[in-house]
Structure 1
Amino acid sequence: MPLGAPSTLTQGAPASGGIGESTLRPDGILKVTGEFAYSSDLWHEDMLWGQILRSTVAHAEILSIDTSEALALPGVHAVLTYDDLPTGVRHYGLEIQDTPVLAHGKVRHHGEPVAVVAADHPETARRAAARIRVEYRELPVVTDEASALAPDAPLVHEHRDDHHLRHVAHPNIVHRQPIVRGDVARARGRADVVVEGEYTFGMQDQAFLGPESGLAVPEEDGGVHLYIATQWLHSDRRQMAPVLGLPEDKVRMTLAGVGGAFGGREDLSMQIHACLLALRTGRPVKIVYNRFESFFGHVHRHPATLRYEHGATRDGKLTHVACRIVLDGGAYASASPAVVGNASSLGVGPYAVDDVEIEALALYTNNPPCGAMRGFGAVQACFAYEAQMDKLAARLGLDPVEFRRLNAMEQGTVMPTGQVVDSPAPVAELLRRVKAMPMPPERQWESSEGADVRRLPGGLSNTTHGEDVVRGVGYAVGIKNVGFSEGFDDYSTARVRMEVAGGRPVASVHTAMAEVGQGGVTVHAQIARTELGIGQVTIHPADTRVGSAGSTSASRQTYVTGGAVRNACELVREQVLELGRRRFGSRHPAWATAGLLLEDGKVVTDGGEVLADLVDVLGDEAVEVEEEWRHRPTEPFDPLTGRGDGHVQYTFAAHRAVVEVDTGLGLVKVIELACAQDVGKALNPLSVIGQIQGGTAQGLGVALMEEIVVDPRTAKVRNPSFTDYLIPTILDTPDIPVDMLELADEHAPYGLRGVGEAPTLSSTPAVLAAVRDATGLELNRTPVRPEHLTGTG
């Protein structure tokens, strides 16, 4: 095993630390002290370093590639282009296999991989990549809806033959999903007020702090072992093996330390490149992106244009919603079809509306590829429909919160897709709670000790002393699905083992769940402690020696892999009790009854009588179970009407934003982002609050500062660095009080709901609503920049 590879995480000697308790992360101290081993820390004594050569143009024919100078450089062990790949499969993709491992014939976006190098030093690898000569003939670029769908538009992919094509009107459309319910034309006649709006949502980067990295080690049987920071080990392997020309059982995957993900690691980055170089050279190969390269090496959140029409009666009831959502998918499909499904099916928001017309589509362009990011299509829709709700409330003279509560969905509401919401949907209650939370005091920058400039717009830049500062308050609420949808076979696998070690009963949990910071390693131990009644639980490193856990995305891991761990623990418990019955059943009649439990390392009756110690029951035997678990099935949306029970669970969050705006300088300081969220059941309350606060901060980022800027003439990225791509720092992060509501979903393990994504939806429109309240401006795009507030841009 290479240095820096993951080790097992042993949790908690005490019998406490079960479900519902705030237990600490086993890797928390290591991370905050800088001792945690991330994938970029991996090391092998004889490893080489890999480097990728990327295209400098966005759309061009490749006329020639000359690698001779690179190969002649001392220390270079391999240079590979498309022609050097194994024969057979040379493309990959999450849903549509349209992404070449290395560019062939032409490049389709700025930064596309063209060649890879392996050398004995990272600087040598970089110098060699720079010596590869690529001759391009630039082609016209497709950058927006107009250029993509024009009759004479260049085709991003000339030869499309996939299952989406029959549902779209143009080859530059990746996927299209209409949703139609009721009769919008007739509903317009009932509306006393109709408001329209067009909204623009910028391209957001996941901005994880650990860049793409991994170490590929060739094995004696001709296979390869990849230590990798990813979100889905088995999906990576499924895409990689055909390209490597290997059966899946010869591609071994172990999760290395992950420094954040947020959707940006669902797609492959350097995985295939590192393995190809390792297999070609017979040496371990490590690849680590720098920050500049990372901006080109993973997908981003889809930028979007959204056109909405809402109607309502004078008494405030919604009559209809019509919208068109256009997502820019960039050069390759990635997860765009599923993002379209989410944006369309959740495009009305958490409101009861009988008459709906929605069209959502994703385009192929020569912009950077876009795919999964926290919120997954629902974020863009929420930004637009919440702005519309504020417009309607203003036109009707109604309080924006009370207007939302009047139209709030609830359990039993029928979604635009026809699906009945069959679990709690406390939208009105969340709005009531967040509005009732105490307001932060006025003019917080003033104190008896003097001005605290950190509380002012502009912060430590000391640009204002409060003379042009105006306060604004805004509200928003959102709805997000949990788990994979539209008929996807969403399951997870867990292996649980119980035995005696060191004179006491212990358990181990082994899954392929990617721990990317969400805290699954803590929750799995809590479940095992609760179900098995013992305190010592070891979490094994995630790898492909156990069945798939699916992706760490869609707020699904606690639901699905947690469900698998619980089921496996239940089966282990049954087998342990049966072992006890065989060994001790004749000694006490209670062994024959059904009400036996495992508690504090003992077998007890449901009345609390101790029957045996688990050490005596197990002896020198071990009980091990590997179990798959699936949530209830979903079904695909009809391609023409959008009908279908496409989602397994819904989750809701509401925000109130309080901002201070310097109207002269166009600077915004978010003072507070209060959140109320239904979490079903907080398995680890401390972790749940952290997830809500983290998602809230990401929503603030896209509201005020985060945007990948792409030149509309050349489709080149203009700000691929944290110098020019701004993310919130601790000084930008406001107070984030959280009010957790726990209304159990009877269909979910322990009644829980996925929590990580919902707060990312409503925080963005809440901030925008507060800035509108402070300035009176319409502000129909993200992020809001100073020039939008001062009228200078």
Structure 2
Amino acid sequence: MTTAVGTSAGIGTSPLRPDGTLKVTGEFAFSSDLWADRMLWGATLRSPHPRARIVGIDLTGAVATTGVHAVLTAEDVPGKKLYGLEHADQPVLAMGQVRYAGEPVAIVAADHPETARRAAAAIVVEYEVLPPVVDSVLAMHEASERVHDRGNLLRHVPIRKGDPSAGAAIVVTGDYEVGMQDQAFLGPESGLAIPAEDGGVDLFIATQWLHGDLGQVADCLGLPPSKVRLSLAGVGGAFGGREDVSMQVHACMLALHTGRPVKMVYSREESFHGHVHRHPARMWYEHGADADGRLVYVKARIVLDGGAYASTSMAVVANATTLGIGPYKVPNVVMDGYAVYTNNPPCGAMRGFGAVQACFAYESQMDKLAAALGLDPVDVRVRNALEPGDTMPTGQVVHGPAPVADLLDRVRAAEPPRPRGDDLRELPGGVANTTHGEGVRRGVGYGIGIKNVGFSEGFDDYSTARVRLEVVGGEPAAVVHTAAAEVGQGLVTIQAQIVRTELGVEQVTVATADTTVGSAGSSSASRQTYVTGGAVKAACEAVRAAVLRRAGRDDVTLRGGRLVTEGGEVVADLVDVLGDRPIEETVEWRHKPTHPLDPRTGQGDAHVQYAFAAHRATVDVDVELGLVRVVEIATAQDVGRALHPQSVRGQIAGGTAQGLGLAVMEEIQVVDGLIRNPSFTDYLIPTILDVPPMHIDVLELGDPSAPYGLRGVGEPPTISSTPAIVAAIRAATGLALNRVPVRPEHLTGT
């Protein structure tokens, strides 16, 4: 399958997304829509206990079920038994013990999905139930039971800058907590595995990282990577939840065992158990400032609950710690971040990982500091705002634009959206306003955050692009092929825009992402437009150079399918230059290098690029009922260069809505290691009636080291929207509110 893009729009414009109309009309093919002849259905048996030893497994009932073709356990894993993104600690199927409720124990393939589910339920597992480790702070103690033999501490990241004993005239402290948030993508995990004639397997999967999956799947299947071919199927949202392997190995095992295609589709409840979530966090902060409100020191301790397996916890805690004082100048920093194993559900990547948790704490502290000083909360932030040339707590110099003060001033000055008519839905507050009774109070709050872009700490972060220029139907046409996952962010459109800009051709086809081309890394960390966009641009430059060599001209450019001089003279037609000899180039593109953190001091140039966003939130709070209505949001963000302005605004609005969810409603309720609300009936996410009018201010301050000057967009709005909304609720109620999401009982005292 290919996606053709045929409009004459390059970078800086907003052409129609080729998948947009199909998605809103319900015609788009998601991975759950895949089908193959003789296809079987897979199902998974999961542990009901967060911690237990497996005493025995009786497969008799499942094997005897009519229509069942395979029942597999850990003994049937043909290759490596463990997998993981950063640390291979997670079993393909449970081996001897289970470490979280929902861990896969056995898998079944049958000729009907209901048959597969009934067969899985017929498997009898005898467990010796053990007390789970569920408190992340207690888990670090030596006396705690060990989730893994290596101990419960996954990683400790210390940051030491300046004088650790520095004092200050004004000191504020706070304890903060962030609950477990779910990515809540609308398309649950799904995929189709088809056995191949060469003994390998073709996997069509909704994922964020094709080559990341490939390495883990091939190892677990005991096959060379050349015999495991992955293609991107339609993805119904991701937000970090598809970075980790879910059913990829399971579907392939069943397909290879049965010799038939096997499809797996999780139910919504199973999806809650089948992917990682945002790390719950417990944080302790102390800020010291002089009498003028300038920060002297920050001391902090952050503990992230990584759950039963490592996933990306080691990277998440590094982000939380290195970004943990926010976009502020602080000469003295003592900070410690910990990622810890527990028997809670595994946690990993979610939009803005690490930075989201820390921002809630440090922005709450900045409001406390402003109150202690009797100053305006924006003025305190502006007074301490990072500027180009300043150093982070890691000692890394901030290069390029850092418009922290400007963003804050912009959101403070922003006018609220004006109603466009008599329709109540157009008014701030809309039809879902809580009430107009005497118990309603209005508050305004601010937040600003910082986020790294790209993978960090010396990770070899790159992307590969293949661009082919040829003649099709008498016209010049280009094909761009990468392994970059389109997860709804509009990357397919961006790739076509870059090719059209660089090669000056109208017809551009974006080939389906798969593993027949080199890795593009993960669609995460706000990196894909930066890195894959850079690779596509570089491949186009190589193709253009080859065209000019073939034409024997170095004083022309490609425009409108012709070779044109600077003065506009057409010297040749591109069709004539290409003839029947296409030009194809494949390029690996890397950004500037990063470096590991010093394990003792946390010093080092760990990050590629920093991105900033600010929010102002206005809320109405009914203090009698404990209801909150966000009635207006203003946000400003530097995006470097908006390659597709409409998509940029969409990313900012969507990220803000996800931050709103964390502020007032979204939390996976985990009690003694068990998820109590694994459905969209009980796990609440914002609807259109919860999302207020937004004033969005987009700055384009180009980063000189990035392709087209662009900057990552997707994560920053999620980071600063949450603390801004909670600050507004505090302003309305006078309550401390040191935990998110804010619940009705936090507002009413019940």
TM-score (norm 1): 0.93
Structure 1 residue 8 and structure 2 residue 8: aligned? no
Query: Does the 8 Å contact 2:417/2:693 carry over to 1?
Result: no
Instruction: Tell me the residue number matched to 1:4.
Output: none
Residues 48-80 of structure 1 deviation map (CA, whole Å, 9 limit, x = unaligned): 000000000100010010001100000000000
1:84 corresponds in structure 2 to 76
CA distance in 1 between counterparts of 2:648 and 2:398 reads 23
Gaps of 5+ in 1: 1-6, 161-170, 582-590
Determine the C-alpha separation between the residues in 2 that align with 1:677 and 1:571.
33
The answer to whether residue 277 in structure 2 is matched with residue 300 in structure 1 is: yes
Counterpart residue number, 2:497: 526
1: CA distance, partners of 2:560 / 2:243 = 40
**Does structure 2 retain, via aligned residues, the 8 Å contact 1:49–1:286?**
yes
Cα distance, 1:146 vs structure 2: 4.0
- Equivalent in the alignment of 1:492: 463
8 A Cα contact 1:456 1:464, kept in partner: no
Residue equivalent to 1:541: 512
Residue 116 of structure 2 corresponds to 125
Deviation at 1:454, TM superposition (A): 9.0
Q: Secondary structure at the match of 2:464?
A: strand
Give the C-alpha shift of residue 463 in structure 1. 6.3
Q: SS of the counterpart of 1:125?
A: helix
Q: Distance in 2 between matches of 1:440 and 1:21?
A: 24
Instruction: Tell me if structure 1 keeps the 8 A contact 2:465–2:481.
Output: yes
For residue 529 of structure 2, what is the aligned residue in structure 1? 558
Counterpart for residue 16 of structure 2: 24
Q: 1:50 aligned to 42, 45, 51, which one?
A: 42
Contact (CA 8 Å) 2:415, 2:695: kept in 1 or not?
no
- Counterpart position of 1:597: 557
Counterpart among 273, 278, 284 of residue 261 in structure 2: 284
Q: Give the residue type in structure 1 aligned to 2:692.
A: P
2:52 counterpart residue number = 60
Distance 1:452 1:152 in 2: 56
Give the residue type in structure 2 aligned to 1:715. G
| Secondary structure in 1 matching 2:307 | coil
Is 1:107 matched with 2:98?
Answer: yes
Secondary structure of the residue aligned to 1:551 is coil
Identical columns (%): 67
Alignment equivalent of 2:159, drawn from 169, 174, 179: 179
Match among 639, 651, 663 for residue 623 of structure 2: 663
Q: Which amino acid aligns with 1:135?
A: E
Q: Please tell me whether the aligned partners of residues 199 and 781 of structure 1 are also in contact (alpha carbons under 8 angstroms).
A: yes
| Counterpart contact for 2:2–2:510, Cα < 8 Å | yes
- Contact 1:495/1:510, CA 8 A, preserved across alignment: yes
- Give 1:200 shift: 0.5
Residue identity in the other structure for 1:527: I
| 1:24 positional shift | 1.6
CA RMSD, Structure 1 to Structure 2 (Å): 1.5
SS of 1:241's partner is: helix
Q: Offset at 1:715?
A: 1.0
The one-letter amino acid paired with 2:90 is T
Residue 400 (structure 2) pairs with residue 423 (structure 1): yes
- Matched letter for residue 492 of structure 1: S
SS in 1 for 2:674: coil
Matching residue's letter, 1:141? P
- Displacement of 1:316 in angstroms is 1.2
Q: Distance in 1 between matches of 2:284 and 2:692?
A: 31
CA deviation after TM superposition for structure 1 residue 634, in Å: 0.3
Q: What is the one-letter code of the residue matched to 2:310?
A: A
Cα offsets for 1:691-738 (capped at 9, x unmatched): 111100000000000000110xx3111111111100001111111221
Deviation readout 1:464-497 (Å, 9 max, x if unpaired): 3433211110001000000000000000000000
Q: Specify the SS of the correspondent of 1:737.
A: strand
Cα 1:262–1:476, aligned 2, differ >3 Å: closer, same or farther?
Answer: same
Counterpart of 1:243? Answer: 220
1:455, 1:669 within 8 Å by CA — same for their partners in 2? no
For 2:619 and 2:434, locate their aligned partners in 1 and report how far apart those are by CA, in whole Å: 17
Retained in 2: the 8 A contact 1:454–1:731? no
Matched, 1:144 2:102: no
Letter in 2 for 1:173: L
Whether the 8 Å contact between 2:434 and 2:628 is mirrored in structure 1 is no
What is the Cα deviation at residue 572 of structure 1? 0.3
Structure 2 residue 451 is the aligned partner of structure 1 residue 480: yes
C-alpha displacement of 1:290: 0.4
Instruction: Tell me, yes or no, if the aligned pair for 2:504 and 2:559 is still in contact at 8 Å.
Output: yes
Q: Give SS of 2:344's match.
A: coil
SS in 1 for 2:500: helix
The residue type equivalent to 1:349 in the other structure is G
Quick one: structure 1 residues 600 and 84, their matched pair in 2 at CA, closer, same or farther if it must change by over 3 Å?
Answer: same
Counterpart for residue 632 of structure 2: 672
1-side partners of 2:544 and 2:65: how far apart?
61
Counterpart residue identity of residue 239, structure 1: Q
Among 625, 632, 641, the alignment partner of 1:681 is: 641
Amino acid in the other structure paired with 1:28: G
Q: Closer, same or farther in 2 for the Cα pair 1:258/1:452, shift >3 Å?
A: closer
For 1:32, the aligned partner's letter is V
1:509 partnered with 2:480: yes
SS at match of 1:184: coil
Q: Is the 8 A contact 1:455 1:671 kept in 2?
A: yes
Deviation at 1:22, TM superposition (A): 1.3
Residue 453 (structure 1) shift: 12
Preserved contact between residue 314 and residue 339 of structure 2 (Cα < 8 Å): yes
Aligned to 1:635: 595
Residues in 1 aligned to 2:85 and 2:257: alpha-carbon distance in whole angstroms: 26
2-structure distance, mates of 1:645, 1:463: 48
Q: Which runs of 4+ in 1 moved over 4 A?
A: 451-457
In the TM superposition, what is the alpha-carbon distance from 1:439 to its structure 2 partner? 3.3
Look up the equivalent residue of 1:226 and give its one-letter code.
L
Equivalent in the alignment of 1:726: 684
Pair 1:571 & 2:571 matched: no
